[in-house]
């Protein structure tokens, strides 16, 4: 199998692990760990705005020993197959423009894709012009257990609603929920904010007129990233960052006669950390893009976030979701 050359741009905590030992952590939690575990990728170039960090990374990780540190304009270098951009969104567009000097076939972007919906569309247009196939890193979409759950609920007409709980921002934790919603239920028809706080609560109405609830939490001393899907005779639950995947079945007379209530939780799969990071790169190596998050779907997520903010600004007005806007 051919080895693909890669440029790793931005060397923060999502790009490289804190220690050499963390390279072996499974499932992978950083780009470098994922690259290491997927094999068949050569990190040809690295770049960070802190050039000392880039230089030190070369000596710290065997995988980067032969990597060349890029200069500021990325020019006068050989072509690569993949550019992975792990920088904050504030300078994302500029970094993408400079990365095109490396003539990549593929680009992997960390979320959030951009600062706003308008910039996201400009990024898409630029990359399409240069015929770069682009993916945004949402690992849960290709986690094996999440894929199994998708087959359980896909096209289940008994589903009445789903509930998503999050904190740490619309563009951060909530963006993962939005991509999962799009994968499971398609694009929304309507978007309406409910609260005006740093992690707003809002609702999405899907094409079958089902209302789905995104509940934002503030001032917590713990992480929350949970999801519940309500079917006619059971509830499927993903809790603690999606690490605990369970179901509760409707049963008669559990505590009261003539009442149908939910059973205790039954684990669907062994509890464990969510994967998908190494699979991202392996799918690119295998030319298997079906379940990866395309730049188009990432832009749809940005559009939903834009409409949530617009709804807040306009007294919680409900807006139609129009992909052409």
Instruction: Tell me which CATH code domain 141-272+303-313 carries.
Output: 3.30.360.10
What ranges do the domains of the chain cover? 4-138+278-287, 141-272+303-313
Question: What is the reported pLDDT for 150?
Answer: 93
Distance CA 321, CA 325 (A): 9
Question: Tens digit of pLDDT for each residue in 36-76?
Answer: 998 899 999 999 999 899 999 998 999 999 999 998 888 87
Instruction: Tell me which CATH code domain 4-138+278-287 carries.
Output: 3.40.50.720
Distance CA 323, CA 8 (A): 32
Distance CA 108, CA 126 (A): 15
Q: Mean of the pLDDT values across residues 24-35?
A: 89
Our CA dihedral for 294, 285, 88, 243, rounded to 10 degrees, sits at 80
Place of tokens 């992909």: 323
What the block records as the tokens of 70 is: 């890029």
- Residues 310, 313, 316, 317, CA torsion sign: negative
Q: Are 236 and 185 in contact (CB under 8 A)?
A: no
What the block records as the tokens of 177 is: 């929920």
Question: Tens digit of pLDDT for each residue in 277-304?
Answer: 999 999 999 999 989 999 999 999 999 9
Per-residue pLDDT band at 168 (split at 50, 70, 90): very high
- Detail the DSSP E strand segments found in the chain: 4-9, 41-47, 68-69, 82-85, 106-109, 133-136, 161-166, 190-193, 202-205, 211-216, 225-230, 234-239, 244-252, 260-262, 266-267, 319-320
Q: Mean of the pLDDT values across residues 13-30?
A: 85
Question: Burial, 33: exposed, middle or buried (Cβ in 10 Å; 0-12, 13-18, 19+)?
Answer: buried
Q: Are 100 and 260 in contact (CB under 8 A)?
A: no
Per-residue pLDDT band at 27 (split at 50, 70, 90): confident
Per-residue pLDDT at 178 exceeds 90? yes
Percent of the chain whose pLDDT exceeds 70: 100
Average pLDDT, the chain: 94
Q: Are 105 and 135 in contact (CB under 8 A)?
A: no
Question: What is the reported pLDDT for 201?
Answer: 98
């Amino acid at each position: 199998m051919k080895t693909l050359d890669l440029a790793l741009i931005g060397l923060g905590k999502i790009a490289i692990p804190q220690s050499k030992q963390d390279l072996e952590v499974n499932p992978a939690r950083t780009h470098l760990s994922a690259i290491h575990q997927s094999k068949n990728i050569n990190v040809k170039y690295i770049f960070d705005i802190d050039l000392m960090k880039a230089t030190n990374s070369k000596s710290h990780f065997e995988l980067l020993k032969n990597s060349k540190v890029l200069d500021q304009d990325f020019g006068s270098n050989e072509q690569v197959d993949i550019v992975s951009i792990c920088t904050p969104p504030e300078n994302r567009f500029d970094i993408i423009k400079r990365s095109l000097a490396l003539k990549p076939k593929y680009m992997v972007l960390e979320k959030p894709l951009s600062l706003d919906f308008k910039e996201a569309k400009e990024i898409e247009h630029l990359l399409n012009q240069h015929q770069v196939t682009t993916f945004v890193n949402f690992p849960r979409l290709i986690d094996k257990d999440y894929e199994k759950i998708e087959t359980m609920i896909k096209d289940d007409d008994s589903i009445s609603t789903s509930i998503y709980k999050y904190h740490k921002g619309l563009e951060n934790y909530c963006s993962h929920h939005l991509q999962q919603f799009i994968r499971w239920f398609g694009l929304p028809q309507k978007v309406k904010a409910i609260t005006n706080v740093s992690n707003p609560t809002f609702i999405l109405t899907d094409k079958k007129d089902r209302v789905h609830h995104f509940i934002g939490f503030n001032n917590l001393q713990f992480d929350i990233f949970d999801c519940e899907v309500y079917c006619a005779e059971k509830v499927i639950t993903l809790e603690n960052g999606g690490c605990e995947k369970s179901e509760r079945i409707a049963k008669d007379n559990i505590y009261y006669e003539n009442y149908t209530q939910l059973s205790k939780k039954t684990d669907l799969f062994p509890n464990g950390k969510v994967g998908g990071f190494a699979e991202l790169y392996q799918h690119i190596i295998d030319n298997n893009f079906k379940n990866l998050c395309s730049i188009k779907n990432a832009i749809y997520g940005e559009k939903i976030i834009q409409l949530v903010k617009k709804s807040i600004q306009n007294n919680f007005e409900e807006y139609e979701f129009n992909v052409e806007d």
